[in-house]
Amino acid sequence: MELIIDDRQDKLNVTEELIEKIKDIIIECLDYEGYDDDYEVSLSFVDNKEIHELNKQFRGIDRPTDVLSFPMLSDDFDIELEEESLGDIVISLERAFEQSKEYNHSFEREVCFLVCHSTFHLLGYDHDTEENTKQMREKEEYILNKLNITRE
């Protein structure tokens, strides 16, 4: 699995340890869903201003959000293709930091949750119904608990 990182913000430091956890999360999500790890994921770290602009442009929602997912896989993809892109994840580290305080857990845990959540979006899951939301939450909690990324 290749992770392409673009850090376009200057408010929060991204450690190598956090990057390694992010890679582990994506690989674990792929494995959980029965995929191999011959995929590429683009991950951009931005601030609230940039994610606000992206949210407005791509979703028509005029406010900042925590994470945006841009899936690339289609329903008829060939799983044997080499180095296919799963898609793009954009995280506002500024919003992740705010939410970590709001939810009373670490910044690292919040970023890891957002990556996990977004990876399941890249794999075709959504939280558009109560049942789909429950299914996504169960998957996210399973992955984070397996990797011992807990609410501290």
Report the binding-site residues for Zn(2+). 117, 121, 127
CA 30 to chain centre: 13
- What Rg, from alpha-carbon coordinates, does the chain have? 15
Give percent helix, percent strand, percent coil of the chain, each to the nearest 5.
45, 20, 35
Q: In what side-by-side order are the strands of the sheet with 2-7?
A: 2-7, 39-46, 84-92, 67-71
Q: Which residues are annotated as a binding site?
A: 117, 121, 127
CA 13, CA 11: separation in Å to the nearest integer?
Answer: 7
The DSSP line for 137-150 is HHHHHHHHHHTT--
SS3 15: coil
Residue 41 DSSP class: E
